[in-house]
Amino acid sequence: MIEKLPKTSNKKGWPWTEESTFLSSKKPEGDNWPKITIVTPSYNQGHFIEETIRSILLQNYPNLEYIIIDGGSSDNTIDIIKKYDPWISFWVSERDSGQSDAINRGFLKSTGVYGNWINSDDLLERNALWTIAKRISNIETKEIFIGDYKIIDIQSKVIREARSNIRQLEELVDIERHWRNGRFNQIGQQATFFPIDFFKSIGMLNIHNHYTMDYELWGRFLLKNAVLTPIHSTLGVFRTYSGQKISFEEKTTRNLICSSYNLIVSCKDWKIKKKTYYLLALFMYTLKYYYGYIRSKIGIRRRTIGVFKKLKLIINYKK
């Protein structure tokens, strides 16, 4: 169990005054638990990163490898990392080429069997690593575990819980009917664990994809015959708030469409007819999205002009 972890004041609950249940230092048969690697990419997230770090360390998992790759933060992030230095396997603060590059750098340092990255504003749920460890096999595998996840706000208040039913490449690239079907069906990156050797074998994350790198990764896994196995237990926590990268919807959607297109055309197992079907579905989704996007922009412009006209009338009336 984690001992003498720094205490915090004025904060309660997970992961401040609560921790995961410690099961045992070894498996019942006497073997070591599989090593699990968690990588946290970080840049100027001092407001959130301590909660992230504690959610990982307080898993109380005996074979954890925790790596933090910071992009040269100028806020209080480094002070917080140093506070937990004795329990962190490796950390560095230096300039990188963005989130995907930082994650790849972390996994190049890793020696774990399975792993995931937890961004510096997200969390692991209690007992997440114990849940995964019980499912990990010593046999070489391409099995990706997909857990349920919570969505929280900037104050860590739970907004909702989500579960994805996406299992096949056909479902992943059919954005309108699956990824964005209005039922929170997206795969929760914070709750997804993959074999690290498999991750490295496909080239890890695309460092040029800054918005939908996880979506692209799931597709590349599936192109290499990965099996997506559901874990119907809450494993991760995704924080959503104004100003974060994913809140730039148009940029995220543009990247999503490009990623989907690349996955479809690169699938060697699909015949022309099948590729054409999914490319057409993607084209129709693109048309619908940008039709709505342009209409919303025009509507905002009209409303803005209307407000200024009303203000002008009021000003002229007062005169």
CATH number at residue 51: 3.90.550.10
Structural domain includes residue 4: no
- What is the number of structural domains in the chain? 1
Return per-residue pLDDT of the chain as tens, 319 residues. Answer: 556 788 776 888 999 999 999 999 999 889 999 999 999 999 999 999 999 999 999 999 999 999 999 999 999 999 999 999 999 999 999 999 999 999 999 999 999 999 999 999 999 999 999 999 999 987 778 999 999 999 999 999 999 999 999 999 999 999 999 999 999 999 999 999 999 999 999 999 999 999 999 999 999 999 999 999 999 999 999 999 988 877 788 999 999 999 999 999 999 999 999 999 999 999 999 999 999 988 887 765 565 555 445 555 545 544 4
Structural domain includes residue 302: no
Structural domain includes residue 125: yes
Q: Are 176 and 289 in contact (CB under 8 A)?
A: no
* pLDDT at residue 243 in the model: 80
Strand partners of residue 263 = none
Structural domain includes residue 313: no
Structural domain includes residue 25: no
* Domain around 66: 36-167+187-250
Structural domain includes residue 204: yes
